[in-house]
Amino acid sequence: MGYDRTVRVDGDFGTTVAAVREALADQGFGVLTEIDVTATLKAKLDQDMEDYLILGACNPRLAHRALEADRDIGLLLPCNVVVRRDGDTTVVQALDPGTMVTLTGLPALEPVAAEATRRLDAALAALSGSG
């Protein structure tokens, strides 16, 4: 089983990051954290790499439902969304919410994961122009 949901976008990195934020917001997700991996590796290790950003996305209603089912689920929250350059395209990846169910084995998380998957898929489809 894969643990990601991925689309490739022909837009430049900055434009894609803005589009990802908008697509996530349209599906009820806010961005709680942002890690600029490229800048961090440059500053801390003097290493260069392609544009690579990790966004910590959260849909508060879904997070609440997940936490009600399992307080430990916070270890898997927020949902990481990666935006990174790969050659001439920008890759957008989201952690598959089904991973919560697979890792915990808790049936109570299945409806939460299903709704989160539907919403993330809609956001990714909007980016790729198929939504």
Task: Give the per-residue pLDDT at 108.
Answer: 94
> What are 59-118's pLDDT values in tens digits?
999 999 999 999 999 999 999 999 999 999 999 999 999 998 999 999 999 999 999 999
Task: Give the per-residue pLDDT at 11.
Answer: 87
Q: What is the mean pLDDT of the chain?
A: 94
List the domains of the chain with CATH numbers: 4-123 (3.30.310.70)
With a cut of 90, say whether residue 128 has pLDDT above it.
no
pTM of the entire structure?
Answer: 0.92
Task: Give the per-residue pLDDT at 131.
Answer: 44
106 is written with which tokens? 């808790």
97 is written with which tokens? 């919410």
With a cut of 70, say whether residue 130 has pLDDT above it.
no
